[in-house]
Amino acid sequence: MIIKLIYRISLLTYLLIVPIILKGQLNLKVGESFLDNQAFKQVFVSVEDHTVWALTPAGTVYYKKDSDVNFSIYAQTSGLNIAELTGFNESEMYFLVKPDIIVHFKNGIKHELKVNYPEVSRINDISIISSKRNVEYTPAYPYNPNDDYLAIATNKHMYKIYRGNLSVTEQQSYTNQPLVNEPDWHITNAGFKSVDFQHLYPMGQCFVNDHATLNYKAFTSYVSALPDRAPYPSKINCTLFAHHWQQAFLVTSGWQIFYNIWGTDEGLFARNMLSCTGMEIKKIIADEKINDLEESYALTSIAKQNFVFAATDRGLYYTPASIFNEFYSSPDNLDRVKFTKHPSLINLKINSLCIDTYITISKEIPSGIHYNTMCEKILWLASENGIKKIYLTLDQDYYSKVKYSDFYYEKPPSNGYNKPEIVFETCGNQTIKLSPRIPTSLHNQLLFQWFKDGTEINDWIGKPNVELKESGVYTLKITALCENIILESLPIIIKNNTTPEIVFNYPDEVNICQGTSYSLQTKLVTGYKYKWIKDGAEIPNANQNSYNIAVSGIYNVQVSNCDGYFETSKSVKINQINLPTPIFSLGKTAYCIGETAEISVVNPLNYKTKWFKDGGELMEFANQNIITTTKSGLYVVSFLNDDNCNSNSLGRNIRFNLVPTVAVNRTTNKVLCAGEEVTLTANPNQSGSDFLWSTGERTASIKVNRNGLFYVNFTSTSGCTKQSDEIEVIVGDPINLSSPDEQRICVIAKEKVTLEAESGFAFYTWNGEKTKIPFFEVNKAGNYVLTVEDINGCTKNVTYKVVQYCKDILIPNAFSPNGDNINDIWQISGLESDPNAKIIIYNRFGNIIYTSNGNNPFWDGKTKGNIVPVGVYYYSIETKSTNQILKGSVTIIK
């Protein structure tokens, strides 16, 4: 069995056999001339149908369709003085008529368009911005579609008309909008790939005054500044924003370079896009009036090459080498921006340049990323002597010096990186998968050819991805079909070795018990390397010919006798027998003396069992899942299988504790009266706080006020429970006394009332006088409290109410009628409401000596006007206040 280790390592260096020189990379061949002896100020190619347009200084428009041999006058603009032209195709063009009219022809229908915005008095330039200009240079950016529209540069702002519309729909958006009243926008580059807008506005980016350049490039825009004060010319004729993604489609790269290139009446200048302090500015072409700039791309399906062209009053300048390095890191300085003058066009005034671009949009699957590649072979020139067609070709000799080495490899080369050849040492049936790092969607624009030892492998023609196995020297040739340029790879050398010897005689499956190990080993051979594998993963630091195994898994050994390749042994499955940990259950852990503990273990797989107490085996319980015991100790159960592997449970302590006793104390032993209660208190002989009374209460003491037998269950802290003896509580019958009727008495009449209680009680207490007699006689009104007491000493109170039914009459029993104004008369109170009351005074002989009534209830001690002698006299009073005649005596004293 062969194990292939996938490293996915790519070499990012393109090795050059000889140093690159700045010549011979791009060749220009002057082709056909059209409309000779006429001056032209603009040439333009509509990218959608490749129609070539030419404009004279007098405003006459010529055009040549892709299938036409010669140019023709565009009749629809006859009579118009056209200043500029642009468009998408022959049927959809825009023409600028100064100062502010745009004539639009679509499918033969003419429309006149204006920018109806305040203060727009002049249209300076127009240019289409095509949605097809989205050229992706790296898959790090997803496809981002643009809209087709006409860009309009005016004296005030930039504006846009979307394709299909006939009016300006919005002002062009841009950053750092000018603060000056009239920034005067111009289009200084109207190429398909890049459209530059400039306005006169002091941005202050690195320079005191500058031209602000807004460039719409690829799928985004960039803002930069150009110096326009001494020592640099203030008038800028044209611009080019050169943009390079390093190593076009290599996903491991992600940096880019930008150059500003601009033409003036005094020459051509360039600057890099570093910081203000690190920026470099160079005058590339001196003493030439630069009229236009154009850029062409090559090898966009492999790694984009950038070439620049400059139209001057005295010929055509171009860069014979890409202004950025070809296939490896590019410098930030401007050393490579070098122009040469084409010898066939010297002293020809060239006003305008335009590249004819063929674009292919490819979509990478499954990433969904879009790539645009360009095939650009024709450069058109508008000169003072007609329209010229220039053919662009690349020099195969130049690119033959470049050796392609950017591949995906399964493993690092055996000889390292950045070498003049790539060497892989293989073993046995090992293969090396190899593929160039070019997106799959671009393969149809390239031809792939593979060679072994100088002979082409016919079966591999057109295949970018191959597997190399046999020893030999392999090379890959990649032909860019647009430019017909061939790149040849570095030599790829495969050195195949014999298969290493492995001795590994073990059964397919081995069982080991938990806690034990098993040793595997293979033959020890000097110079061999060893790796031990568990479950498909390499075991760290296991690089000897033997290995001790202590865990389950599928094991094998890999043996190598060459770098990067290992032969794999058969696999041995090691099963570590991990018996389940027995778990036994108890009803409880603490028992009381006299109880029996039952211990059971769950054993669904019917392992053998052994029971142990305090470390000693209980032989009588062998192979039993349930045992019983009455002895305290530490119990353990063990499972055993047929391989004598065992697994022990955790130890469980079982205790048998003394049973407590509990007595009940009471606060009184007597029979309780109704409403009384007795406190019962549990008194155990062991510690604990778990009480349960027959009443359901769980406190140590309870209060009882009813008849019954009461007991308590006490559970000690050891968990043993004991019930107390029963305690009887007796509550006597309640004493029921009926409420006595109200009694009436007339105290004046000296009446008496006998109060009578219910019989059958041991004692009667009348108004505090305790007796055994249930009768009590009273001679005055009032409330009389009776307390009865039964034989249990229980008492009950009842109140007797005695009310007076006659009025109280106050009769003095003596007075002294001696004239000292003290007690001189005998005055009777209580007769005021009875004027008919009759009062009679008698002497001791029974003779009446004085009479009166209720209106005058008094006697002054006289009879017939004379004071009677001192002595005792008698009275009788008849009144309605009483049913009896009130009689008594009164004494006269001195």
Lowest mean pLDDT among 220-229, 274-283, 434-443: 220-229
479 and 533 belong to one structural domain = no
Tell the residue number behind the tokens 């004071």, with chain if given.
867
Q: Are residues 520 and 489 in the same domain?
A: no
**28 alpha carbon, distance to own chain's centre:** 60
- Residues 639 and 546 grouped into a single domain: no
* Segment 866-878 mean pLDDT: 90
- pLDDT tens, 410-431? 788 888 888 899 998 887 778 8
Query: Hey, what amino acid is at 146?
Result: N
- Please state the domain count of the chain: 7
734 inside domain? no
pLDDT of residue 166: 92
In sequence order, the 6+-apart residues with CB closer than 8 A to the CB of 760 are: none
Output the domain CATH number for residue 708: 2.60.40
Alpha-carbon separation of residue 43 from 317, 428, 518 (angstroms): 17, 64, 85
Residue 242, pLDDT score:
84
Where is pLDDT greater, at 502 or 304?
A: 502
The reply to whether 18 falls in a domain is no
Please give the average per-residue pLDDT across 561-571, as a whole number.
83
On the question of pLDDT at 441 being above 50, the answer is yes
d(CA 243, CA 265): 24
The answer to the question of residue 738 being in a domain is no
Q: Is 307 helix (H, G, I), strand (E, B) or coil?
A: strand
Q: What is the pTM of this model?
A: 0.58
Q: Please indicate, yes or no, if residue 1 is contained in any of the structural domains.
A: no
Q: Is the pLDDT of residue 218 over 60?
A: no
pLDDT in tens, 343-369: 999 999 999 999 998 877 555 545 555
In this structure, the answer to whether residues 158 and 198 fall within a common structural domain is yes
Let me know whether 862 and 887 are in one domain.
yes
* 3-state SS assignment for residue 445: helix
Query: Is 17 part of any domain?
Result: no
Give residue 216's pLDDT.
Answer: 57
CA separation for the pair 763, 773 (Å, rounded): 8
Tokens standing for 412? 């690092």
Residue 820, pLDDT above cutoff 70: yes
Task: Answer whether residue 409 shows pLDDT above 80.
Answer: yes
DSSP 484: T
Do 210 and 280 belong together in one domain?
yes
Q: Is residue 709 part of a domain?
A: yes
For 768-803, how does the pLDDT look when each residue is reduced to its tens digit (9 = 90+)? 898 989 999 988 888 999 899 888 889 889 999 988
Distance CA 705, CA 707 (A): 7
Pick from 648, 670, 689: which residue ends a domain?
A: 648
Q: Which of 363, 394, 425 marks a domain boundary? A: 394
> Before 227, cis peptide (omega within 30)?
no
| CATH number of the CATH domain containing 306 | 2.130.10.10
518 and 566 in a single domain? The answer is yes
Asked if 337 and 237 sit in the same domain, the reply is yes
433, 545: one domain: no
Q: What is the CA radius of gyration of the chain?
A: 65
Query: What average pLDDT score do residues 506-520 get?
Result: 91
The CATH number given to whatever domain includes residue 425 is 2.60.40.10
**184 and 270 assigned to the same domain:** yes
Please give the residue range of the domain that contains residue 854.
814-892
Instruction: Please tell me whether residues 167 and 279 are part of one structural domain.
Output: yes
Residue 542 within any structural domain of the chain? yes
Percent of the chain with pLDDT over 90: 47
> Is 268 domain-assigned?
yes
**For residues 440 and 462, what is the distance between their CA atoms, to the nearest angstrom?**
12
State the CB neighbour count (10 A cutoff) for residue 677: 15
Chain segment 62-117, per-residue pLDDT in tens = 999 999 999 999 999 999 999 999 999 999 999 999 999 999 999 999 999 999 98
More confident position, 822 or 339:
339
839/830 Cα distance (integer angstroms): 13
Q: Which of 626, 648, 670 is the last residue of a domain?
A: 648
Residues 462, 538 within the same domain: no
With 70 as the cut, is the pLDDT of residue 220 above it? no
